[in-house]
Chains A and B, each alone.
Chain A
Amino acid sequence: DAGVIQSPRHEVTEMGQEVTLRCKPISGHNSLFWYRQTMMRGLELLIYFNNNVPIDDSGMPEDRFSAKMPNASFSTLKIQPSEPRDSAVYFCASSKTSGSRETQYFGPGTRLLVL
């Protein structure tokens, strides 16, 4: 079985540009999570979806960030406009159900550098 797939793996962009990160969860998983990892703040949950519906977006930093899940096999995280402080590794994870005991399976991450 393929794991969680993220693209691109690396992204370098200039301040002010739009950035779109993509995620394909494991087939059959109903929950999808977006995390951000930085040296200063560690791993932070940005937003998560159950059955394609956003449940909690309290971790989204500001209006420049938006996330969508148009169907069960695809999600995007968009930053517009991007800023240097958005530089981080962004992880997508998925789990089978919405229970808090469920294991989350992480993708390899997208390393974003905003110049």
Chain B
Amino acid sequence: AQSVTQLDSQVPVFEEAPVELRCNYSSSVSVYLFWYVQYPNQGLQLLLKYLSGSTLVKGINGFEAEFNKSQTSFHLRKPSVHISDTAEYFCAVSERQGAQKLVFGQGTRLTINP
């Protein structure tokens, strides 16, 4: 079984500041890794995913994430945030060879202050 831990439930930052949202996972098998974003009163939208290859993955809206196998982490970063980035961010994993099931973390609420 897999589990995902998002270490911060809330992250407040000022506009144009950098941000890092932390995600650690636990799994006995190889996994794919995902970050989804949920804007208020909307469904989830894929930001980026790590399947294979380069451990640095670039996504939409200027976000990127780095897969670190030894630390079992997949932290999300953005060098300069905007008010429009205010949302909840979810890290998720799925088994490479297993069922098509996403296991989500509890989410991190990112609040951008002007």
Q: Which residues of A contact B (CB under 8 A)?
A: 4, 31, 33, 42-43, 45, 48, 50, 55-56, 91, 93, 95, 98-109
Is A100's CB under 8 angstroms from B43's CB?
no
Return the chain B residue nearest A109 by Cβ: B43
Whether A106 contacts B45 in the complex (CB less than 8 A), given A42-B106, A100-B95, comes out as yes
Bitwise, B40-74 to A at CB < 8 A (1) or not (0) is 01111110010100000000000000000000000
Give min CB distance, B104 to chain A, whole Å.
4
Give min CB distance, A95 to chain B, whole Å.
7
Chain B residues with Cβ below 8 Å from A108 are 41-43
| Chain A CB within 8 A of B98 CB | yes
| Chain A CB within 8 A of B32 CB | yes
Q: Which residues of B contact A (CB under 8 A)?
A: 32, 34, 36, 41-46, 49, 51, 90, 94-107
Find the residue from B42, B97, B101, B105 having the highest chain A CB count within 10 A.
B101
Is B102's CB under 8 angstroms from A45's CB?
yes
The residue that B43 contacts in the complex, of A45, A101, A106, with Cβ under 8 A, is A106
The residue that A100 contacts in the complex, of B45, B46, B90, B99, with Cβ under 8 A, is B99
Is B104's CB under 8 angstroms from A100's CB?
no
Give min CB distance, B42 to chain A, whole Å.
6
> Helix, strand, loop or mixed for chain A's interface?
strand
Chain A residues with Cβ below 8 Å from B99 are 55-56, 100
Is A100's CB under 8 angstroms from B105's CB?
no
Is B43's CB under 8 angstroms from A42's CB?
no
Pick 27 A–B contacts, CB within 8 A, sort by A.
A31-B100, A33-B102, A42-B105, A42-B107, A43-B44, A43-B90, A43-B107, A48-B100, A50-B100, A56-B99, A91-B43, A93-B43, A100-B32, A100-B94, A100-B95, A100-B96, A100-B97, A100-B100, A101-B32, A101-B49, A101-B51, A102-B100, A103-B49, A104-B102, A106-B43, A106-B44, A108-B43
